[in-house]
Amino acid sequence: MRSPVAKRSVVLSGHKTSVSLEDAFWKELRQIAGARDMTASDLVAEIDAERQHGNLSSALRLFVLDFYRQHITAAQAAGGKQRDGDHASHGRYHAAPGKARG
């Protein structure tokens, strides 16, 4: 049986490192990065730079969890229900800091 955990190489601050993360989290990180008009590698580097403690794999999982928690809260506050499949196509949480979405 194939493991759901995939090890990928990323470059952080000019240094190549490996990160082990479940495929579902890699997929969601790519979705979020694409919605922010950035690469997954750039998003991983941003998360790495902002993390306070713990390992990078944990920080990435927590980032994805927090992203969708905020997204659900915003959708509920707006009085709407999020449809399946729409998770990376709406909302203010997709714009990169300092970038306007058009």
pTM given for the model: 0.72
CATH code at position 63: 1.10.3990.20
Q: Is 92 domain-assigned?
A: no
How far is Cα 68 from Cα 73, in angstroms, rounded to an integer? 8
Q: Is 97 domain-assigned?
A: no
Q: What is the pLDDT of residues 59-79, one digit of tens each?
A: 999 999 999 999 999 999 998
Number of domains in the chain: 1
Q: Is 10 domain-assigned?
A: yes
Q: Is 99 domain-assigned?
A: no
Q: Is 100 domain-assigned?
A: no
Q: What is the pLDDT of residues 16-52, one digit of tens each?
A: 999 999 999 999 999 999 999 999 999 999 999 999 8
Q: How confident is the model at residue 13 (pLDDT cuts 50, 70, 90)?
A: confident
> Which H helix or E strand runs over 97?
none
- Domain range for 38: 5-81
Angle separating helix axes 40-50 and 23-35, nearest 10 degrees: 100
How far is Cα 45 from Cα 15, in angstroms, rounded to an integer? 11
Contact 60, 47 (CB under 8 A): yes
Interval 1-10 mean pLDDT: 81
Q: Is 71 domain-assigned?
A: yes
